[in-house]
Structure 1
Amino acid sequence: MNVKPDFSKGISHAMTAPAFLSVWNVEAYYGESYIVQNVSFNVHEGEILALLGRNGAGKTSTLRAIARMDSPAVTRGEIWLDHAPLHTMSSWQAAQSGIGLVPEDRCIIPGLTVEENLQLAQIAPPIGWSIDRLYDLFPRLGERRKQEGVTLSGGEQQMLAIARALSRDIKVLLLDEPYEGLAPVIVDEIERTLRIIKEQGITTIIVEQNAVRALELADRAVILDTGSIVFDGTAAEVLGNEELRAEYLAI
């Protein structure tokens, strides 16, 4: 008799270790259809977590729950950031508390230049990295500071979206498909930037279909399947487990 492999031993249900960000029994659903079911995991300060799974596994919904971008999904459960209850907050309150979401569509504001997009992000406190510091991090943006943001290449728009998040005083950076549609050389540049961000102590959660690249960057990985966690462990464990990758990531 064939027995389906059990990868659940990698899941830390007790969640007893101190964590910077804790997601507790989070559920998200549209109407009566569940997208995320009882998802729980910890992320430590300065860590990069790869949140992985096939299309429709619930990855983006989990990110949106953390950022309190509930509409149109309804969410339940608790989410704590540095002892603050995110689950009681609206999206703008979560942003003020240190959550920076870079959505898949990047949401560059039409009609504004690169610099105006960054200035708008800093119109109210808490202000994060200075614009000059962001140009040091992304020299291409400095070269195109007067160019309308929506006319940038896809890779440059991704840089702008990350820079705009860093314009705020963030504690956690949430990235939804940051490599999508980008050439490998641009992905290399984005990864270099994310390593610099990690060195600054910023915690990062990355949702990415290019699972191998995400795992090579990440410290730990959480894998979702049909809205539930099937693995929670180190990125190295996933890279070294061919059966697990084939079962849930198709790689």
Structure 2
Amino acid sequence: MNAVSTIQRDAASQPQAATPFFSVDDIHSYYGESYIVQGVSFDIAHGEILALLGRNGAGKSSTLRTIARLDSPMLHRGEIWLDGQPLHKLKAFEAARAGVQLVPEDRRIIQGLTVEENLTLAQVSPGMGWDLDRIYGHFPRLAERRRQEGTTLSGGEQQMLAIARALARDLKLLLLDEPYEGLAPVIVQEIETILHEIKELGITTIIVEQNAVAALKLADRAVILDTGEVAFSGTAREVLDNAELRHEYLAI
């Protein structure tokens, strides 16, 4: 047997690394001429929750928006893969149909529609997710307010509606941008309970959150960004146990 055949045989016998369920590979994004995301790479296994952390302006929300394929920021180069599908080749509506659901910081509740109408409208898109009975089972407060206009809900209730709306769609990857922002501590606890239920259901999730400790307690893994680059990638427990790391990059 010649040397080439031996190399080919040995290579074929080596175990192949599993392809991650979701990955970003060296993504670079711009807002206009501002270079925001500067070569970010990470991957997530199916069912994992990843906390994407960093100081204000580190590029966290821009990374989420790049993953969701929104027009701003613009992806300059790099690849984004979800369950074998190249998201970097898709437009925002195509990425949503592929299972990427972003819950934005401003929630984007549709004015003039009731809670139930917001949820029903979300189910119009191909590949319907949770039905209303399942949603109301996990969000009893929304069930109580199903006939109320969505924009008249409290901030915490609007956050619940925004998360429920994402679950009403075909969902493979949930992106949460500042889910605790501006909420009273008692409401934060309610949202945390909902997110722990989502974790138990095995929904792959990326959470961006200034309340880093809360996000880390929920997450399996963590990526810390610093001026658009990855400063740390590891387990959430490593960050919780490393006071020096938290102080340097998260100011906590």
Do both proteins adopt the same fold according to a TM-score greater than 0.5, normalized to the shorter chain? yes
8 Å contact from structure 1 (residues 215, 236) kept in 2: yes
Given the alignment of the two structures, is residue 130 of structure 1 paired with residue 131 of structure 2, yes or no? yes
8 Å contact from structure 2 (residues 122, 165) kept in 1: yes
Aligned partner of 1:32: which letter? Answer: E
Q: Give per-residue Cα distances to partners, 1:19-63, cap 9 Å, x unaligned.
A: 110100000012332100110000111001000000000000100
8 Å contact from structure 1 (residues 238, 244) kept in 2: yes
1:27-176 aligned within 5 A? 27-176=28-177
> Match of 1:229?
230
Q: CA deviation at 1:185?
A: 1.8
Q: CA deviation at 1:198?
A: 1.9
Aligned counterparts of 1:96 and 1:30: Cα–Cα separation in 2: 25
> Match of 1:3?
none
The alignment's TM-score, normalised by the length of structure 1, stands at: 0.92
8 Å contact from structure 2 (residues 65, 73) kept in 1: no
RMSD: 1.1
> Match of 1:188?
189
Larger radius of gyration: 2
Q: Give per-residue Cα distances to partners, 1:119-148, cap 9 Å, x unaligned.
A: 110113210000111011100000000000
8 Å contact from structure 1 (residues 65, 75) kept in 2: no
Q: Give per-residue Cα distances to partners, 1:54-106, cap 9 Å, x unaligned.
A: 00000001001110013353442100000000000001110011101000000
8 Å contact from structure 1 (residues 30, 74) kept in 2: no
Given the alignment of the two structures, is residue 204 of structure 1 paired with residue 205 of structure 2, yes or no? yes
> Match of 2:3?
none
Aligned counterparts of 2:98 and 2:198: Cα–Cα separation in 1: 18
8 Å contact from structure 2 (residues 27, 75) kept in 1: no
Aligned counterparts of 1:244 and 1:18: Cα–Cα separation in 2: 29
Aligned counterparts of 2:185 and 2:239: Cα–Cα separation in 1: 22
Count of residue pairs the alignment pairs up: 236
Q: Give per-residue Cα distances to partners, 1:179-205, cap 9 Å, x unaligned.
A: 001122211211111121122221010
Aligned counterparts of 2:157 and 2:75: Cα–Cα separation in 1: 33
Given the alignment of the two structures, is residue 214 of structure 1 paired with residue 215 of structure 2, yes or no? yes
Indicate the larger mover: 25-34 or 136-145.
25-34
Aligned partner of 1:162: which letter? Answer: I
Match of 1:185, SS? helix
Structure 1 runs of 4+ with >3 Å offset: 72-75
Percentage of pairs with the same residue: 72
8 Å contact from structure 2 (residues 128, 170) kept in 1: yes
8 Å contact from structure 2 (residues 99, 171) kept in 1: yes
Match of 2:113, SS? coil
